[in-house]
């Protein structure tokens, strides 16, 4: 008989059975291998563990380990591989704190994903690992990719004049695009930032909106404004809006323009029609960059209307100078529930497609 408190488990007989007999195979899990870590700075160790140990709790949930902290020491218990991954995560995050970076829960989650993707196949150097993802250094703060897809996105933004990014909400498409545009603006590589998006409500009719042009489109561009104020000083943003260095350009009024020496961001592009997308893409002028973002699963166009984003991605695939980065629920950097919600909806959509007509 198995001991009552044993952590071992029995495999299903249909899957694991001794050849030629009816005997089930008893499988024991890998033995727990505790690891003890110490950090030389008590203040940084406190930030590393998080308020009330929330960062350690996230590592426990995601990696299946048990982390016990005391002062600047932490003990990790679990399987050998999980403990090694947890050690990599903590040491990488500690190196970032030593560099003076801020640490939020999204950074912890991104580092965990990196550790999971790398496995334990390579030698690990925390000093080099903390800088393995692309970074954008702005005057106000440093922005760093948190997932492999975000890293590929930043690399594409640096190397291509036109970049499409598609994927679910919360993957950082807009935020990173704004950060890249601000970096170009601060380096004087461009003269202005142009923000645009289709004015399509998400299943509602808001009716007439009072105010001038900026006030009318402000509700639609609020996510981009939030990113601007998060990444730039508020006084600089307000002054740039007044001087036209940051321009709000509704998609309906873009026809006939040539956007030169500018960083152009077209957000919520899944709600553009095919004609609108063609018109917008052909506005690209000399020494300009354009980023087109959208979530193909949240199209608010009338039934039967083709999304300009889906068509453009299909038609322009493989053209030199154009990149396309696809995000998935694994790249969601908002609340961890968002990734599960996206997965649930994606699975339901897949089931509906498989049903016979």
pLDDT digit string, tens, across residues 160-186 = 999 999 998 888 899 999 999 999 999
Helices 274-281 and 308-315, axial angle in degrees (round to 10): 60
- The band of 210, judged by pLDDT with boundaries at 50, 70 and 90, is low
pLDDT of residue 123: 47
Judged against a pLDDT cut of 90, whether residue 261 lies above it is answered with yes
Please list the alpha-helical segments (H only) found in 32-77. 42-49, 54-63
Mean of the per-residue pLDDT values of the chain: 80
Residues 331 and 133: beta-carbon distance below 8 Å: no
Fold identical between 35-132 and 137-330? Answer: no
Distance in angstroms (rounded) separating the CA atoms of residues 102 and 141: 9
pLDDT of residue 326: 93
Q: What is the CATH architecture assignment of 137-330?
A: 3-Layer(aba) Sandwich (3.40)
Residue 203 Rama label (left phi>0; alpha psi -120 to 50; beta): left
pLDDT of residue 316: 94
pLDDT of residue 213: 57
Strand extents, DSSP E, 271-321: 289-294
Q: What is the CATH architecture assignment of 35-132?
A: 2-Layer Sandwich (3.30)
Judged against a pLDDT cut of 90, whether residue 16 lies above it is answered with no
Segment 239-251 mean pLDDT: 88
Nearest to 232 by CA among 139, 99, 126: 139
Judged against a pLDDT cut of 70, whether residue 217 lies above it is answered with no
- The band of 335, judged by pLDDT with boundaries at 50, 70 and 90, is low
At residue 26, the 3 state secondary structure works out as: strand
Judged against a pLDDT cut of 80, whether residue 290 lies above it is answered with yes
Complete DSSP assignment for 145-188: --SHHHHHHHHHHHH-SEEEEE--TTSSHHHHHHHHHHHHHHTT
Residue 138 burial by Cβ neighbours in a 10 Å radius (0-12, 13-18, 19+): middle
Residues 100-136 have pLDDT tens digits of 877 887 788 878 877 777 654 444 445 444 456 788 9
- Give the start-to-end residue ranges of the domains of the chain: 35-132, 137-330
Neighbours of 54 (CB within 10 A): 12
pTM of the model: 0.70
Distance in angstroms (rounded) separating the CA atoms of residues 172 and 195: 16
């Amino acid at each position: 008989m198995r001991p009552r408190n044993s952590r071992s488990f029995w495999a299903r007989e249909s899957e694991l059975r001794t050849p030629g007999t009816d005997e089930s195979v008893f499988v024991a899990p890998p033995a727990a291998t505790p690891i003890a870590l110490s950090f030389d700075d008590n203040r940084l160790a406190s930030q590393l563990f998080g308020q009330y140990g929330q960062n350690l709790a996230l590592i426990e949930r995601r990696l299946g380990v048990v982390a016990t902290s005391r002062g600047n020491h932490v003990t990790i218990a679990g399987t050998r591989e999980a403990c090694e991954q947890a050690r990599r995560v903590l040491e990488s995050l500690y190196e970032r704190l030593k560099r003076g970076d801020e640490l939020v829960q999204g950074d912890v989650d991104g580092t965990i994903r990196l550790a999971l993707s790398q496995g334990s196949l390579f030698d690990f150097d925390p000093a080099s690992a903390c800088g393995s993802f692309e970074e954008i250094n702005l005057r106000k703060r440093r922005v760093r990719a948190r997932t492999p897809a975000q890293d590929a996105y930043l690399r594409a933004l640096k190397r291509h004049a036109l970049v499409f990014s598609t994927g679910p909400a919360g993957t950082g498409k807009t935020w990173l695009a704004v950060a890249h545009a601000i970096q170009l603006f601060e380096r004087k590589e461009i003269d202005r930032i142009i923000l645009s998006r289709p004015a399509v409500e998400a299943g509602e009719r808001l009716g007439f909106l009072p105010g001038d042009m900026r006030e009318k489109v402000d509700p639609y561009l609020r996510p981009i404004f939030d990113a601007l104020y998060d990444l730039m000083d508020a006084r600089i943003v307000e002054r740039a809006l007044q001087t036209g260095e940051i321009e709000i350009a509704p998609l309906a009024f873009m026809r006939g323009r040539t956007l030169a020496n500018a960083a152009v961001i077209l957000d919520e592009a899944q709600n553009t029609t095919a004609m609108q997308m063609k018109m917008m893409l052909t506005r690209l002028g000399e020494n300009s960059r354009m980023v087109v973002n959208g979530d193909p699963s949240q199209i608010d166009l009338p039934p039967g209307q083709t999304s300009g984003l889906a068509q453009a991605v299909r038609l322009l695939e493989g053209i030199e100078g154009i990149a396309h980065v696809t995000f998935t629920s694994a790249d969601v950097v908002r609340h961890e529930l968002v990734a599960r919600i996206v997965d649930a909806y994606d699975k339901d959509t897949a089931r509906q497609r498989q049903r016979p007509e």
